[in-house]
């Protein structure tokens, strides 16, 4: 009886994993080029305007800025999560040095983290957040944008 249970358990596990792979498990790792056709919106940071791509699905967030060879200085990617949580990012298959701004619901930058390309070093928010804005590394520092300052734009209006 025990070998039958074990075989059923293994078959169930294999079927479950196979069913989950199309939801993003293998897709992001097989991503050959950058995702460039995400929805866009404008954000404000101090006196500066940022054009961001919005990554809101699990797969879009997983792919992020992977395989991008360059990005204009006024552009970035806004990662949108369903609920606030401690968010951690790493840079596997990401070619650009980036800075992540971990952002609260009201647009307040909670903390900033410089991230080296092509590493699996983890960079986390210091408290639960729903948004993470990635920009070219050094953009926030050059513009004098620091933790505690607020971003403006549709996601943060009225919060």
Residue pair 43/109 in contact by the 8 Å Cβ criterion: no
Dig out the tokens for 152 from the structure. 């403006």
CB atoms within 10 A of CB 132: 24
Whole-angstrom distance, CA of residue 57 vs CA of residue 31: 15
Q: What is the pLDDT of residue 26?
A: 42
Residue 123 in this model has a pLDDT that exceeds 80: yes
| pTM for the predicted model, two decimal places | 0.80
| 40-89: pLDDT as tens digits | 999 999 999 999 999 999 999 999 999 999 999 999 999 999 999 999 99
**% residues pLDDT > 70 (the chain):** 79
pLDDT for 142:
97
* Rounded CA Rg of the chain: 18
């Amino acid at each position: 009886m025990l070998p039958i249970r074990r075989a059923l358990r293994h078959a169930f596990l294999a079927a479950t994993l196979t069913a989950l792979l199309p939801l993003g498990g293998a897709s992001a790792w097989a991503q050959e080029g950058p995702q460039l056709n995400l929805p866009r919106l404008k954000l404000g940071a101090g006196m500066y305007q940022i054009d961001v791509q919005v990554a809101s699905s699990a797969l879009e967030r997983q792919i992020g800025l992977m395989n991008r060879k360059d990005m204009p200085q006024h552009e970035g990617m806004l990662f949108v999560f369903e609920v606030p949580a401690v968010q951690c990012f790493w840079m596997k298959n990401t070619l650009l040095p980036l800075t992540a701004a971990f952002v609260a619901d009201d647009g307040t930058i909670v903390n900033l983290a410089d991230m080296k390309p092509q590493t699996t070093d983890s960079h986390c928010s210091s408290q639960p957040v729903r948004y993470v804005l990635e920009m070219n590394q050094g953009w926030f520092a050059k513009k004098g944008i620091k933790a505690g300052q607020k971003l403006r734009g549709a996601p943060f209006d009225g919060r």
